[in-house]
Amino acid sequence: MASANGGLAHDRTLIRYDARGNGMSDWDVAEISLDAWVSDLECIVEANRLERFPLLGISQGCPVAISYAVSHPEQISHLILYGGFAVGSKHRNLTAEQLEEFAAMRTLTRLGWGADNPAFRQMFTTQFMPDATKEQWDSCRELRDAVGHWWSQSEWLTRCCRRRVASASV
């Protein structure tokens, strides 16, 4: 992801952080929830004295970015979302087959997240980036290895199915 971050930061200031339970942030935390992640983002914005800025949400960062933008629309100049969603699977009109696929993804995440298994990496990155090049998949794998252990990702997927981000015009 270093190349992507470099491109995003060209002629701009990029503030990137690891959400609680991920990457270099604390993994042993009392609460992993959308509200906690939004609160963490609010602290980062305040600590950096940001007044108006573009906000990028990737994967699990999408509902955090949406929730923040809904709560603080005056601060967001642009909202960019990639590879995420605002409504979890429990709130969609999914078929039994689609629900079964989601359950399988949770199981594969729990069992394969930390493993150096090319089949798992391919399955995960293809879901996240279906048209990516090998270089982009490799970058995604590097990020995957840094974002957290299987429990937080599996737990995140389980909680995602219950999530519904508040709606408002931004």
Tens-place pLDDT, residues 69-95:
999 999 999 999 987 877 776 777 889
CATH of span 2-160: 3.40.50.1820
User: Which has more pLDDT, 2 or 88?
Assistant: 88
What pLDDT does residue 73 have? 97
Q: Which is it for strands 76-82 and 53-58: parallel, antiparallel or unpaired?
A: parallel
DSSP assignment of 111-159, as one string?
HHTTS--HHHHHHHHHHH-TT--HHHHHHHHHHHHHH--HHHHHHHHHH
Measure Cα distances from 51 to 45, 73, 76 in Å: 8, 11, 8
Burial class (CB in 10 A: 0-12, 13-18, 19+), 38: buried
DSSP letter for 31, please. -
| Of the candidates 170, 162, 169, the residue with the CA atom closest to the CA atom of residue 87 | 162
Q: What percent of the chain has pLDDT over 70?
A: 71
Spatial separation of the C-alpha atoms in residues 28 and 5, rounded to whole Å:
27
Angle at which helices 150-160 and 96-112 cross, to 10°: 160
What pLDDT does residue 163 have? 55
Burial class (CB in 10 A: 0-12, 13-18, 19+), 63: buried
pTM of this structure: 0.69
What pLDDT does residue 159 have? 56
